[in-house]
Structure 1
Amino acid sequence: MATILVVEDDADVAGLIEHRLAASGHDVSVAGDGDAGVEAAYVRRPDVVILDWMMPRRTGIQVCEDLRADTSFRTTKIIMLTARAQAADVERAMGAGANDYLTKPFSPRELLARVEALLN
């Protein structure tokens, strides 16, 4: 079981992700915007962070960069989960420190498989 933080401003999407990952035995928490996501990351110290790109207060890219700037998050795995699907977006996210990139709409089963792959 891993500790997973979902940072997603769409409550329906966040709920779907939370339900699927929790049903697989993970300890899942949700933050509804980028600022809350950074705060939650410092409190929860998650193994995996799933980030939406386009959020209020701080984008997923900014959250990713902020976490990667702190060496205590060096081993934390980050998955960008976003509607942005251009090659330049993927490059930007990976350059910011994301470990994986998945576009919306997405399969909850595929997201779980990617989380499990990053944890192993």
Structure 2
Amino acid sequence: MFRRDFSGATGHSFSISSSTFPRLSEGDETMAPHVDHVEVLDKKITELSYALAHLGKGTELSELIRIIKGGGWTTPAEFAFTEAIIDSMQVQVKALSNLNMKLLAAGKLVATKELVAR
């Protein structure tokens, strides 16, 4: 059994242990073949990449700027509400960018480990 603790720059932390995942072995019928795993991850990574690319276009936020500049956004409450959401979205984008870099780095470590083992 293994356990690994992680903590981020924001102070959030989490742990992963072998009990987090179902126990599978080569002979276990519930374990999908490696090819199936690769296909599932390929599909999920491609979908995520597409969603991030679409999100990165910023067309919705450009529309929001146009709406705000059109007038009617005059109360301190409207400003505070919108600013809080924008600040939160910015924090989430930074976290997602950080996760993206760490996932890629971890993938490279796994690939290097597999190449060395061969």
TM over 0.5: no
Q: Which has the higher helix share?
A: 2
Sort the TM-score into its range (normalised by shorter chain). under 0.3
TM-score normalised by the chain length of structure 1? 0.25
Give the number of the structure with larger relative contact order, counting CA–CA contacts within 8 Å between residues 6 or more apart: 1
Q: Which has the higher strand share?
A: 1
Mark the structure with the bigger radius of gyration: 2
